[in-house]
Amino acid sequence: MEYDIIYDDACRATLEVVFKKEEAIDEIKRSAQAVSRNVEIKGFRKGKAPFEVVKTQYPDAILEEVKHNTIPEVVREIIKEEKLKLIDDVVYDIDKLNLDGDIAFKATLYLRPEVELPDLKSIPLDAPNEPEIKEKEIEDTIKRVAEDVAPRKAKKGGASKSDVVTFRWEGEVPKPMDDGIYEVIIPEEEISGSVGGQLCGVCAGDTRNISVKYSQQDKEGRREEGIAEGRVRVTKVEERRIPDDIDEIARLTGFKDGEALRNGIREQIYNSKMEMEQERVRMTAFANIVSKSKVELPKSIIEWYREKVGKEKKLDEKKIKELLKRRFVFESLLSRFKVVVNEDELKRETILRAQRLGVKEITKEFVYDTHENILFRKTLDKLAEEIFKAKDEK
């Protein structure tokens, strides 16, 4: 087998591969054997039929096996041998492929550009600012906690302000809603189009047509908005008694008394603000790294991005370059620091994130997104650590 890599520029190359006759025939025979293991051929056990028999009965299947398994495997080996760093799937163009021993093809490769990172000693890294906690923040949180832990009891009459209505879809569930149990609170003030507002006055056992505004992302990250309409059945109506005594709220939440609750809330707000402040410091450091890094972004990579990701977003070239530079600098840091996400870490974070976002079904896309979030956070943590270390050495 002979191959040649022709570089259009630093980010796009064409791999040209031509098999020698005897090598091509060997690969075709191996593919025929793979086919014979998965089909019924009269007079032979699976995988035992002679090549000529398989060739006669399943010629197209053999060529498909070569196309979808042999050729990609060859390309993977070349990529590994040449130490190429791809940023997208390989695009194949078959020149010759037949059972007589002709295999020749081209493969378009999109490559990660070289990134020249700056000296970490040159990157400023400020200490996080001490969070300021206002008394109003604590009071507002206490009010929200009181609503969350408010004792409930079944209500015989129609749902009114502050009541909780539990319902589920009846009949066909409108997309993209889930076939689950929902809870809504009837709002204190009328909110146009709100689900709670539409269910005001219902009793347990009632049915009602409602419309729900939704906003979600598809697999390509495009934002989709719309209105789901359907019929729901009310399973429960409950009235709440929202406590206003802080010691009672404390007991309902597991705290000793009101003072302990206040201290717990203060600590929670402090930790949340400090986490946000640390995130700001890390993101600022990353932005400085991106700004000072050098990355060559030829026309081919701009066209690739516009076609692959940004076609519907109508991004201009300047914005695409900013996004690509940020991506490649991050990947360079990831490679440099050798950051990984272990299985337990991913499982724990996926569950916590699903609970926080109210996700009912954990999909592969959600797990992947969680993995990328952890990877980004850990890389920025490592970046801050390495900047501190570099400054100490200086």
How far apart, in whole angstroms, are the C-alpha atoms of residue 230 and residue 228? Answer: 7
pLDDT at 217: 64
Q: What residue spans of the chain are helical by DSSP H? A: 21-36, 51-57, 59-65, 71-82, 135-148, 195-198, 246-252, 258-292, 299-308, 317-337, 343-357, 364-393
pLDDT at 302: 92
With respect to residue 378, please indicate whether it lies within any of the assigned structural domains: no
Please tell me whether residues 90 and 191 are part of one structural domain.
Answer: no
CA dist 120 to 381, 386, 392, Å?
14, 7, 11
Residues of the domain holding 210: 152-240
With respect to residue 286, please indicate whether it lies within any of the assigned structural domains: no
Please tell me whether residues 164 and 104 are part of one structural domain.
Answer: no
With respect to residue 136, please indicate whether it lies within any of the assigned structural domains: no
pLDDT at 339: 94
Please check whether residue 143 is in contact with residue 188, taking contact to mean a CB–CB distance below 8 angstroms. no
Indicate the DSSP class of residue 316: -
With respect to residue 288, please indicate whether it lies within any of the assigned structural domains: no
How far apart, in whole angstroms, are the C-alpha atoms of residue 224 and residue 240? Answer: 35
How far apart, in whole angstroms, are the C-alpha atoms of residue 206 and residue 158? Answer: 10
Partnered with residue 230 across adjacent β-strands are 210
How far apart, in whole angstroms, are the C-alpha atoms of residue 211 and residue 200? Answer: 14
Number of domains in the chain: 2
How confident is the prediction along the chain (394 residues), in pLDDT tens digits per residue?
899 999 999 999 999 999 999 999 999 999 999 999 988 888 888 888 899 999 999 999 999 999 999 999 999 999 999 999 999 999 999 999 999 999 999 999 999 999 999 999 889 888 899 999 999 999 999 999 999 999 999 998 999 999 999 999 998 888 888 888 999 999 988 777 789 999 999 999 999 999 998 877 655 556 678 899 999 999 999 999 999 999 999 999 999 999 999 999 999 999 999 999 999 999 999 999 999 999 999 999 999 998 887 555 677 889 999 999 999 999 999 999 999 999 999 999 999 988 887 776 788 888 999 999 999 999 999 999 999 888 776 5
Q: How many CB atoms lie within 10 A of CB 279?
A: 13
Whole-model pTM: value is 0.73
Please tell me whether residues 106 and 156 are part of one structural domain.
Answer: no
Q: Which residue in this structure is represented by tokens 């995130």?
A: 279
CATH of the domain at 18: 3.30.70.1050
CATH of the domain at 156: 3.10.50.30
How far apart, in whole angstroms, are the C-alpha atoms of residue 81 and residue 315? Answer: 36
Please tell me whether residues 97 and 12 are part of one structural domain.
Answer: yes
Please tell me whether residues 20 and 103 are part of one structural domain.
Answer: yes
Cis-peptide into 243, omega within 30 deg: no
pLDDT at 314: 72
Residue 206's region, left for phi above 0, alpha for psi from -120 to 50, else beta, is beta
Please tell me whether residues 105 and 156 are part of one structural domain.
Answer: no
Containing H/E element for 142? helix 135-148
With respect to residue 34, please indicate whether it lies within any of the assigned structural domains: yes
Containing H/E element for 281? helix 258-292
Altogether, the residues listed in the chain come to a count of 394
Which of 88, 111, 134 is the last residue before a domain boundary? 111
Which of 204, 222, 240 is the last residue before a domain boundary? 240
CA 141 to centroid of chain Cα atoms = 31
**What spatial distance separates the first Cα and last Cα of the chain, rounded to whole Å?**
53
- Give Cβ neighbours of residue 137 (< 8 Å, ≥ 6 apart): 269
How far apart, in whole angstroms, are the C-alpha atoms of residue 271 and residue 265? Answer: 10
With respect to residue 7, please indicate whether it lies within any of the assigned structural domains: yes
Strand duo 164-170 + 115-116: pairing:
unpaired
With respect to residue 86, please indicate whether it lies within any of the assigned structural domains: yes
Q: Which amino acid is at 206?
A: D
How far apart, in whole angstroms, are the C-alpha atoms of residue 112 and residue 10? Answer: 8
How far apart, in whole angstroms, are the C-alpha atoms of residue 138 and residue 266? Answer: 7
Please tell me whether residues 19 and 75 are part of one structural domain.
Answer: yes
Residue 292: both structure tokens together: 């000072």
Please tell me whether residues 107 and 156 are part of one structural domain.
Answer: no
pLDDT at 142: 97
pLDDT at 311: 59
Q: How many CB atoms lie within 10 A of CB 149?
A: 17
pLDDT at 240: 95
Which of 176, 205, 240 is the last residue before a domain boundary? 240
Please check whether residue 226 is in contact with residue 218, taking contact to mean a CB–CB distance below 8 angstroms. no
Nearest C-alpha neighbor of 210 from the set 224, 226, 199 = 199
With respect to residue 94, please indicate whether it lies within any of the assigned structural domains: yes
Please tell me whether residues 93 and 156 are part of one structural domain.
Answer: no
Please check whether residue 157 is in contact with residue 203, taking contact to mean a CB–CB distance below 8 angstroms. yes
